[in-house]
Amino acid sequence: MYFFPVPCFSISLFFFLCSAVFVFVVFVFALLYSFSLPVCCVYLCILSIAVYFMSRVPMEQLQARKDELLSREKRIGISISLLDLLQRDENRSPFEKPFVSLKTLYSDFVVREISPFYNHQQPLQLEALPSKETVTDLVLRDSAAGGEPASRMPSIAPRKRERESAFDAEKQEQIKKAFAPLLNEEDLRALTEALAEAQDGVTLRHVTEKEKRTQIHHAVRNVLGAGYISTTSDGAICIQKATERDKREDRRRSNPIKTRAFLHFTVYKENFDSNQAIFFLSKQIGINKRQIQFCGTKDKRAVTLQRMAVQDLDPARLCAVNERSCGVGHNVKVCSFQIRDRGLALGDSLGNHFRIVLRLFHTPSRHEGDAPWDALNDARVAEWQELLRAHGVINFFGPQRFGTTSVLTSDVGLCLLKGDFERALYLIFLSKSMFVPPLTEVLPLVGAKDYAAALERTPYYCSQERDVLKFLVEHNTDIFGAFCAMSRTMAMLYFHAVQSLLWNQMASARVALSRQARVGDLVLASTYEQRTSGATTGETPASAVNEGSGAEGSPPSAPFRPRTTSRSLRWPRSVLPLPGPDGDLQFPQAAPCTRADYDVALAELGVASLLAPRAGGEGGTTAPSVSAAQTGANKYSASLLKKFHFHGAYRALGVMPKDLRLSLVSVKGWSTPLIPTDLQGQGNTAQEGEQTAGGDASAAADEQNTTALVAEFALPPGCYATSVLREISYAVNEKMHSKEVPEE
């Protein structure tokens, strides 16, 4: 739902003016009709009270939105604010965070990936868009700058096929010299004439010896090249021009897929979902979307830049994407081509640089007990900046990790781990129905296990749901098998969400207890050695170990527990484990994050089997006994682990935003763009028709002066910008799909 498509200041002002005019009209009416003065005063008091409460309506609704935000954060395990705790620790005056509009315009949220392989590890920029005429020179230049040898360049063929020219005199002489010992005069003359005239083929009928036929085949391949092929039919040798299919087959044999180079490029998109952008690119260049490699997904309602890679791709085909339209208000462009030996994998980036505009809501007056919204000034912003630079933020998994509906992805994951597959299936359809209305009709059918009717009514574009239903139509009782038939990437989201939920809970408890490093905390051995020896002053805990997703394979290099603390070893450098069935997963030895504390939390969630059996010797709270129902779910957890291979991992407790800058900016008009896009900077487009998050209703506020808080910072991979934003604001105007979730 949306809250306040226009600033609260404008809403309140509208209520106030209308009410004041109404009071004035009623008062004049009473005087004209000779009401007594006391009666007029009573009317005036009553109407003034009405004006008072009407002007408070936006504030009360904002408070309701704040309560909703805090309630959702609590559901995903986030229960504290580091900035609030620090202000209390340092005896600073408390300050209520302002309400802001996040992503009012898509250009208010700019994400630039930081690649280790391009642009000297600086945030990506939209460079000059290549054309088919200039792309070859640009690829050779950028690849040479990156240290790639010219021999690794893929063949760059023209877009239109051209008729191959005839061999010149020098080449013909070389051909005669190679074939003269193998052919008689008649066949040699036929071959040279066919090649000189660029004929489609020639047949040599006088070669009877098998050994000579073999030598002729070798000569065709070595002298005539990939443009011709030779075959033997009824004792005669046929030499023909190779078709495109023949050439592809020859390239496949002579250039195995494992040895082919990768074309890396920057993808710039505006107001476009990452999956949609990948699908768009794959359709335009004619490849399977699975061939496109990238380091991570980016926000939809935003301007984003990231690197992608495709193996053995002609750059001329790719640059044609820049000539295609994506629809009004959407853009996808590609640039900065480079050839490299290896592709990209999830997590390969060094992080992301963010520039975010938060537009402040204002209230027209201050009532007793209200927060002092208008007190936000440069001094207060500078204080926040100082605290965040010095202490960092808690490295929470953000709300995006848990979906955008009232059904959290962790809710589905918990049902799967408990073995309650029927409810998990129902929750998946319930969640999707909140933004795909046709699925509302499917919900009762899924609940009644009428999978054939449900499949018939499920829209074609709900491919994930249709795959599950198709399996259930064929295997009506095997609902576990239906989830195993689900896309592994999609299924992993549910398990990772459960791990993220528990990690958030543990991080909240740990930071609430102490903002200092403690004996028994887990830290990376490399980080500990660097900090205690003074070898480096870099802030690298989150980038050193920040899987946060239970990545495939075993957990990263084992951390250890220092026996003493050091002033150089601060709390953000500690790590907490994400729960997983890994026998060698380590835990802190200080409450509230010991192995026993994890056992208690998992038992409360009903998924105690998520951790491997304990070897003993860990201190902390005593774990409760496991119920029979939980024991019965162990077999499902084992089967799920075998199928999906989710594991534990370690995640840095805190993260230090790099190059953090906060500033207040005054702007005229609620929907006035503050950040020009890279595409505008090249003069390719005007920012026309960009809709605010609230739609056309915001036009009423376009003439009002408003204040925006601009935040710039960089974060390591796997970290969420919302971890920074939640410390300084309550973000409203974000779309959240909601529907009542039935009890189990």
Query: Using one digit for the tens of pLDDT, what is the confidence trace for 196-205?
Result: 777 878 888 8
The tokens 């509302």 sit on which residue? Answer: 440
Task: Enter the tokens of residue 626.
Answer: 């496991």
Task: Enter the tokens of residue 249.
Answer: 């087959």
Task: Enter the tokens of residue 57.
Answer: 């309506």
* CA dist 456 → 229, 435, 466, 479, 545 (Å): 51, 19, 9, 18, 46
Q: Omega of the bond prior to 588 within 30 degrees of 0, cis?
A: no
Please list, residue by residue across 468-482, b when 16 or more beta carbons sit within 10 angstroms of its beta carbon and e when fewer do: bbbbbeeeeeebbbb
CA triplet 394, 508, 616: central angle to 5 degrees?
115
Q: How confident is the model at residue 160, as a pLDDT?
A: 40
pTM score: 0.76
d(CA 425, CA 14): 47
233, exposed or middle or buried, with CB in 10 Å at 0-12, 13-18, 19+? Answer: exposed
Average pLDDT over residues 216-222: 84
Given a cut of 70, is residue 48 above it in pLDDT? no
Side chain identity, residue 647: H
Given a cut of 50, is residue 397 above it in pLDDT? yes
Q: Which among 480-494, 651-665, 686-700 has the top mean pLDDT?
A: 651-665
Average pLDDT over residues 418-445: 91
Closest CA to 4 of 700, 607, 534, 503: 700
d(CA 721, CA 337): 28
Query: Using one digit for the tens of pLDDT, what is the confidence trace for 690-737?
Result: 566 554 444 445 567 889 999 999 999 999 999 999 999 998 765 655
Q: Which among 40-54, 134-148, 506-520, 687-701 has the top mean pLDDT?
A: 506-520
Q: How confident is the model at residue 496, as a pLDDT?
A: 92
Given a cut of 60, is residue 623 above it in pLDDT? no
R_g of the chain computed on alpha carbons: 33
The strand pairing partners of 405, in sequence order, are 737
Q: How confident is the model at residue 302, as a pLDDT?
A: 94
Asked if residues 692 and 5 have their Cβ atoms less than 8 Å apart, the reply is yes
* CA dist 110 → 269, 348, 350, 678, 742 (Å): 10, 20, 17, 10, 38
Least confident range from 28-42, 391-405, 687-701: namely: 687-701
Q: To 10 degrees, the CA torsion angle through 321, 327, 329, 330?
A: -30
Q: How confident is the model at residue 553, as a pLDDT?
A: 41
Query: Using one digit for the tens of pLDDT, what is the confidence trace for 294-332?
Result: 998 888 899 999 999 999 888 888 888 998 888 888 999
Helix (H) or strand (E) holding 690: none
Closest CA to 294 of 334, 371, 347, 219: 347
Given a cut of 80, is residue 122 above it in pLDDT? yes
Query: Using one digit for the tens of pLDDT, what is the confidence trace for 567-619?
Result: 545 677 889 999 988 888 889 988 899 999 999 999 999 988 788 776 654 54
Provide the 3-class DSSP secondary structure of residue 236.
Answer: strand
Given a cut of 70, is residue 355 above it in pLDDT? yes
Task: Enter the tokens of residue 476.
Answer: 């009506």
d(CA 506, CA 578): 10
Side chain identity, residue 586: Q
Closest CA to 351 of 529, 665, 33, 112: 112
Q: How confident is the model at residue 544, as a pLDDT?
A: 46
% pLDDT > 90, the chain: 32
d(CA 153, CA 140): 8
Given a cut of 90, is residue 177 above it in pLDDT? no
Please list, residue by residue across 633-662, b when 16 or more beta carbons sit within 10 angstroms of its beta carbon and e when fewer do: beebbeebbeebebbbbbbbbbbbbbebeb
d(CA 136, CA 148): 15
Neighbours of 353 (CB within 10 A): 20
DSSP-assigned letters across all residues of 179-224: HTTTS-HHHHHHHHHHHHTT-SEEEE-----HHHHHHHHHHIIIII
Asked if residues 594 and 600 have their Cβ atoms less than 8 Å apart, the reply is no
d(CA 498, CA 637): 13
Query: Using one digit for the tens of pLDDT, what is the confidence trace for 526-569?
Result: 555 555 555 444 443 444 455 544 444 444 445 655 555 555 45
d(CA 408, CA 413): 9
d(CA 446, CA 425): 8
Q: How many residues does the chain have?
A: 744
Pairing type for strands 730-732 and 99-102 reads: parallel
Q: How confident is the model at residue 234, as a pLDDT?
A: 79
Q: To 10 degrees, the CA torsion angle through 298, 304, 305, 306?
A: 0
Cα 661 → chain centroid? 23
Side chain identity, residue 516: Q
Given a cut of 80, is residue 216 above it in pLDDT? yes
Given a cut of 90, is residue 477 above it in pLDDT? no
Closest CA to 466 of 495, 508, 428: 428
Task: Enter the tokens of residue 537.
Answer: 């002053």
Neighbours of 4 (CB within 10 A): 22
* CA dist 732 → 10, 67, 100, 444 (Å): 16, 11, 6, 33
Question: For 270, phi and psi rounded to 5 degrees?
Answer: -125, 125
Axis-axis angle for helices 409-418, 421-433 (nearest 10): 170
Confidence of residue 29 (pLDDT cuts 50, 70, 90): low
d(CA 405, CA 186): 80
Average pLDDT over residues 353-380: 71
Helix (H) or strand (E) holding 388: helix 378-391
Q: How confident is the model at residue 36, as a pLDDT?
A: 62
- DSSP category for residue 639: H
Closest CA to 541 of 392, 725, 383, 713: 392
Given a cut of 90, is residue 115 above it in pLDDT? yes
Domain edges within the chain = 59-104+356-392+656-682+702-739, 116-145+257-349, 181-254, 394-534+558-614+630-649
What mean pLDDT value characterizes the chain?
A: 78
Helices and strands in the chain, H and E counts = 24, 18
Task: Enter the tokens of residue 539.
Answer: 């802030």
**CATH fold of the domain at 116-145+257-349:** Alpha-Beta Plaits (3.30.70)
Per the model's pLDDT, the better-predicted residue between 327 and 503 turns out to be 503
